[in-house]
Amino acid sequence: EPEVTQTPSHQVTQMGQEVILRCVPISNHLYFYWYRQILGQKVEFLVSFYNNEISEKSEIFDDQFSVERPDGSNFTLKIRSTKLEDSAMYFCASSEVFRLGPNTGELFFGEGSRLTVL
Amino acid sequence: DAKTTQPPSMDCAEGRAANLPCNHSTISGNEYVYWYRQIHSQGPQYIIHGLKNNETNEMASLIITEDRKSSTLILPHATLRDTAVYYCIVRLGGTDKLIFGTGTRLQVFP
């Protein structure tokens, strides 16, 4: 069964460093997402991406964050200057279709990348 | 904020049906009800979704009340591997995002 893969599984970084989290969505999917989950808290939406541009983003997704699809397979989340509060599990997701309709865009999530900022 | 209310935890005996309730009294006519689950700290896993009719797939059944203000996810024969946090989500119309609440922690015991 096709799946979303994420690397690295765990990254430890120093505060102020740049971090890039990578995701390979399912190959025929067109819509990509990043969510995060701080330990013990809810899963939170960060950003959605379609046709090489951001389609929606949350208040969390400030100027420190950026997303990119550098080639036909990868989808990346960059955090420019990490803060302690960026420590979380980051989940990438993808979907074949979009928004509402008969095929209502089931999201497939990866296993996550755990980011620890020291 | 999440538009759903779920009990924080439930227990279920292995082999029995697990019935997980969800209230979504402010749901709009074009909003779907989605269920996802999260096992340990893994990525959320899609289970089922519906608009107003009851739905069934290989994992579960979804029963939506006629007024659409509440729904129940049914795992017909719970196994230990179904122990997880179950999220009931109303997907906002015309938006990409899923708003996760705190969910129901289902513990299946032998």
What's the confidence (pLDDT) of residue A88? 97
A90 in contact with B, Cβ within 8 Å? no
CA of B92, closest CA in chain A: separation in Å? 9
Cross-sheet strand order for the sheet of B61-64? B18-23, B70-75, B61-64, B55-56
Tens-digit pLDDT string for chain A (118 aa):
779 999 999 999 999 999 999 999 998 888 899 999 999 999 999 999 988 899 889 999 999 999 999 887 899 999 999 999 999 999 999 988 655 444 466 889 999 999 999 9
Q: Before A8, cis peptide (omega within 30)?
A: yes
Q: Do A91 and B97 touch (CB under 8 A)?
A: no
User: Which residues, at least 6 apart from A68, have a Cβ–Cβ distance to it below 8 Å?
Assistant: A75, A76, A78
pLDDT band at B1 (very low <50, low <70, confident <90, very high): low
Query: How many CB atoms within 10 Å of residue B94?
Result: 10
The answer to whether residues B58 and B47 touch, using CB atoms and an 8 Å cutoff, is no
Q: How many CA atoms lie within 13 A of B73 on its CB side?
A: 31
Q: What is the pLDDT of residues A93-114, one digit of tens each?
A: 998 865 544 446 688 999 999 9
For residue B74, the surrounding DSSP H or E stretch is strand B70-75
What type of residue sits at position B54?
A: N
A44 in contact with B, Cβ within 8 Å? yes
Q: Do A56 and B30 touch (CB under 8 A)?
A: no
Considering only the beta carbons, identify the residue of B30, B46, B102 that sits closest to A100: B30
Structural tokens at position A94: 């993808």
Residue B6 confidence (pLDDT) above 70:
yes
